[in-house]
């Protein structure tokens, strides 16, 4: 073994920066490596097998802390480490249309290599606040509950908050199919391998696949790869936006991204903080989320799923995401149990840009429909028990409640056009005024 390590060390050129592995602590390598920089990619030579790339994630006094982009099999104490002098980047442009990639940009779809004609840096600064275009254009989604009551804007960033098994993946696939965008970028972070294939083959049609780039990092992969997948998908979307395109970025999930940040931070020695999440988690989230949105050239409409337990929006990641995004859509288990899909709890959801992109009439019609939902929700127990005695106006609203539910949660969940949705909403509100 030592002879093999000596041969690898002998291959380095004189004067070239190099180091060696001093210690392995969990998923982190402590390496003697002069002048290493955070984010730099290094090549770690293994006793057996091909060298593996690792990223500098921090320092322990004068030693660098590296996290491999893969398994640590074959890495021995004293293994040679060679900095590449480069930071992480990902292939982008037309070459990745219709492709399924892993976190480092390698193809997963068995369609051959991806032509490396254009690269984008994995980490970029967000657009200047003063160069962002105002968001004034409504984004039709084909989902009635959203278009009627929670209208989105082109370039908006919104969170899709949901527990397990309430239909978030189905809703994401609907958005990917129905939203009109020049490009769709989908990031599947920390998903089960079985669900990845099911999402690609069952939830996306051929036309959507052809205009989409899917970046995948499954739950079994190292935390650093799950981080890179989120940043890679964002970088691919940014490159398309720079060409003047409107990009729909769907990321599932932001929670698993935050957990990967926590794993890396704790491995690097950062102390835990709020409910076990180190402070760097809450510093990293805005750096990722602010990269989406509008710029002087184009726009990225971004939808991030956030996992919540029991519809608890005060969980640390959910609470932080809600404060950073331009609105939230909550999927309710109560509605899902009633087979009302998409299970969007309109009363607890908000689109902060709705008023900026809809007409005064649309806003007033939506307020009428919201009052019907609020009246029923506030008195549901008494209504079911037959103990609620409504006045004439309330009775009229309660009689219209089943019709509104049937409209917002149609059987089969087929898409509706925006003009049809607004026309129905106008007629519904007119009868209740």
- Per-residue pLDDT of 358-371, as tens digits, reads 999 999 999 999 99
Q: What angle do CA 410, 333, 275 make, to 5 degrees?
A: 140
Q: What angle do CA 218, 173, 99 make, to 5 degrees?
A: 55
| Token digits of residue 378 | 């506030």
Q: Which residues pair with 252 in a beta bridge?
A: 188
Per-residue confidence band for 61, with pLDDT thresholds at 50, 70 and 90: confident
Average pLDDT over residues 141-145: 95
Mean pLDDT is lowest, of 149-158, 180-189, 236-245, 339-348, for: 339-348
Residue 13 has pLDDT above 60, yes or no: no
**pLDDT attached to residue 172:** 93
- Please state, in angstroms and rounded to a whole number, the distance separating the CA atoms of residues 277 and 266: 9
| Length of the chain (residues) | 433
Closest CA to 316 of 345, 278, 346: 278
| Token digits of residue 163 | 């527990």
- Please state, in angstroms and rounded to a whole number, the distance separating the CA atoms of residues 46 and 81: 9
Mean pLDDT is lowest, of 62-71, 258-267, 304-313, for: 304-313
**Residues 208-231: tens digit of each pLDDT:** 999 999 999 999 898 989 999 999
**pLDDT attached to residue 407:** 94
Strands (E), 45-164: 52-60, 63-68, 80-87, 89-91, 100-101, 119-121, 138-139, 152-153, 157-162
Residue 310 has pLDDT above 80, yes or no: no
Buried b (16+ CB within 10 A) or exposed e, 411-433: eebebbebeebbebbeebbeebe
Residue with the bigger pLDDT between 423 and 205: it is 423
Q: Would you say 57 and 119 are in contact if contact means Cβ atoms under 8 Å apart?
A: no
Buried b (16+ CB within 10 A) or exposed e, 286-315: eebbebbbbbeebbbbbbbbbbbeebeeeb
What are the φ/ψ torsions at residue 179 (nearest 5 degrees)? -75, 130
**Residues 154-181: tens digit of each pLDDT:** 999 999 999 888 888 889 999 999 999 9
Average pLDDT over residues 279-301: 96
Q: Can you give the pTM of this predicted structure?
A: 0.89
- Please state, in angstroms and rounded to a whole number, the distance separating the CA atoms of residues 394 and 383: 12
Look up residue 200 and give its DSSP letter.
I
Q: Which residues pair with 80 in a beta bridge?
A: 20
């Amino acid at each position: 073994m030592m002879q093999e390590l000596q041969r690898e060390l002998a291959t380095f050129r004189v004067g070239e920066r190099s180091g060696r592995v001093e210690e392995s602590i969990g998923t982190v390598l402590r390496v003697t490596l002069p002048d290493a920089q955070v984010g730099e990619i290094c090549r770690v030579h293994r006793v057996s097998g091909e060298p593996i790339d690792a990223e500098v994630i921090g320092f322990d006094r004068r030693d660098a802390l590296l996290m491999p982009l893969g398994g640590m099999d074959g890495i021995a104490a004293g293994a040679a480490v060679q900095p590449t002098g480069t930071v992480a980047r990902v292939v982008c442009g037309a070459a990745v249309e219709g492709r399924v990639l892993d976190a480092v940009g390698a193809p997963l779809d068995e369609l051959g290599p991806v032509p490396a004609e254009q690269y984008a840096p994995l980490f970029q600064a967000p657009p200047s606040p003063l160069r962002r275009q105002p968001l004034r254009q409504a984004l039709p989604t084909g989902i009635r509950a959203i278009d009627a009551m929670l209208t989105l804007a082109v370039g908006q960033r919104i969170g899709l908050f949901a527990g397990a098994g309430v239909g978030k993946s189905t809703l994401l696939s609907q958005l990917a199919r129905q939203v009109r965008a020049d490009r769709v970028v989908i990031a599947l972070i920390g998903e089960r391998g079985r669900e990845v294939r099911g999402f690609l083959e069952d939830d996306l049609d051929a036309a959507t696949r052809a205009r989409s780039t899917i970046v995948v990092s499954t739950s079994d992969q190292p935390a650093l790869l799950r981080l890179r997948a989120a940043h890679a998908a964002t970088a691919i979307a940014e490159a398309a936006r720079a060409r003047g395109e409107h990009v729909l970025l769907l990321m599932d999930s932001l929670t698993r991204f935050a957990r990967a940040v926590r794993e890396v931070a704790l491995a690097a020695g950062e102390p835990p903080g709020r409910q076990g999440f180190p402070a760097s988690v809450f510093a990293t989230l805005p750096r990722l989320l602010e990269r989406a949105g509008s710029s002087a050239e184009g726009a990225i409409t971004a939808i991030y799923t956030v996992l919540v337990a029991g519809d608890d929006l005060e969980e640390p990641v959910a609470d932080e995401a809600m404060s950073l995004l331009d609105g939230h859509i909550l999927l309710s288990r109560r509605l899902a149990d009633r087979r009302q899909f998409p299970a969007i709890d309109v009363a607890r959801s908000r689109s902060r840009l709705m008023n900026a992109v809809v007409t005064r009439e649309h806003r007033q019609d939506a307020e009428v429909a919201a009052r019907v939902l609020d009246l029923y929700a506030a008195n549901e127990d008494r209504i079911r028990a037959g103990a609620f005695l409504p006045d004439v106006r309330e009775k009229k609203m309660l009689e219209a409640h089943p019709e509104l539910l049937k409209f917002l949660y149609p059987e089969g969940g087929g898409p509706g056009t925006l003009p049809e949705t607004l026309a129905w909403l106008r007629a519904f509100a007119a009868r209740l005024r």
